[in-house]
Copies of this chain bind each other. A is one copy, B any other.
Amino acid sequence: MNTSPLRAKRIHFRTKKYRSPDGLPTDICLFTLLSIPRQTKTKSLPLKQLAVLLIKRKSNTFGEQWALPGGFSHESETLDECAYRELKEETNIDRDVHIEQLKTYYKPGRDPRGWIPSVAYVSLVHEDLLKHAQANDDASDAQLFPIEEAFALNLAFDHREILTDALQRVREQMLQTTIAKAFLPDEFTLSELLQVIETVVPSFSAKDRGNFERRLLATTRRQGLLEPVLSADGQPVYSTEFSNSPAKLYRFTGFTPTAMIY
């Protein structure tokens, strides 16, 4: 290898020969699943819709734009802390929700205000937590958009690219990890789980509820992914929240089978 360019650059840095970034914001792609009640003759699962949180910006050059919520990080906080802080400021959520660093974006000119990269985060939040927050402030300029609608908007900066990447990441993770739990209560029925997966990843289709059930519960590869919720006397617990026919409740155990292509 060649002689150390790192050391050379350190000297430059010390003499302040080079500019420094003008700030390091974090931007958050906050996804939630909105429930859309159906009018049916008996109890049924509400439809679900994947939505993302955007805030309105008034730009003097670009007219009305929508942007991912975000804000500048401080020297005294970690990037994760900044993301949590922003989440709290925008949504009033102060819980341990799913939040995950996605990627850092910079290209010359991405922000007209200067040399401003952005550390993008993905957060998955159950709609109940957001409804509570929304009640606090109706005059807010933050709004949830179904993802197709979000992509039809005039988004600020490179936020369309970030949103595209975030959506792709969420879809991958939805199939390869147990992040579905972010959109589910602690105890849920198999229909709820299946619906979450199908809503987030439209290309996923179990087609057959019965086969989905067997795959998840009866195959050794996935043993321990889910466990039935048991009552004090060891009997399975049922829910009739979404159907007259009582449905067994399950929870994630913490074990995740490894997904692989080979």
Residues of A within 8 A of B (CB): 1-7, 9-10, 12-14, 18-24, 53, 55, 57, 67, 69-79, 86, 89-92, 101, 103-108, 113, 115, 117, 119, 133-134, 136-137, 139-142, 175-178, 197, 204, 206, 212, 215-216, 222, 225, 256-262
Ordered by A's residue number, 28 sampled pairs between the chains whose C-beta atoms are within 8 Å are A1-B90, A1-B92, A1-B136, A2-B136, A3-B137, A3-B139, A4-B141, A5-B89, A6-B55, A6-B69, A6-B70, A6-B71, A7-B57, A13-B23, A18-B23, A20-B21, A21-B21, A21-B23, A24-B106, A76-B108, A78-B108, A79-B104, A101-B103, A175-B261, A197-B262, A204-B262, A206-B262, A212-B262
Number of copies: 2
Q: Would you give the shortest CB distance from A180 to chain B, in whole angstroms? A: 9
Q: Knowing A18-B72, A20-B21, A175-B258, say if A2 contacts B140 (CB, 8 Å).
A: yes
With A13-B23, A55-B6 as known contacts, state yes or no: A215 contacts B262, CB within 8 Å. Answer: yes
A74 lies within 8 A of B18 (CB): yes
The answer to whether A107 and B78 have CB atoms under 8 Å apart is yes
- The reply to whether B55 and A78 form a contact with Cβ atoms under 8 Å apart is no
Q: Which of A55, A117, A141, A177 has the most CB of B within 10 A?
A: A117
Contact of A260 among B4, B75, B175 (CB under 8 A): B175
Nearest-Cβ distance from residue A115 to partner chain B, whole angstroms: 4
Residue of B nearest to A73 (CB): B106
Partner of A104, one of B72, B104, B178, B215: B104
- Say yes or no: A1 contacts B72, CB within 8 Å: no
Q: Taking CB as reference atom, which chain B residue is nearest A5?
A: B89
Other-chain residue from B2, B53, B106 in contact with A90 (beta carbon distance below 8 A): B2
Closest residue of chain B to A194 (Cβ to Cβ) is B262
Q: Complex Cα distance A178/B77, Å?
A: 37
Nearest-neighbour CB distance to chain B for A109, whole angstroms, equals 10
With a cutoff of 8 Å between Cβ atoms, the chain B residues found around residue A72 in the complex are 9, 12-13, 18
From B70, B136, B176, B212, A259 is in contact (CB under 8 Å) with B176
**A20 proximity list for chain B (CB < 8 A):** 20-24
Q: Distance (Å) between the CB of A62 and the closest chain B CB? A: 14
CA distance A117 to B80 in the complex (A): 12
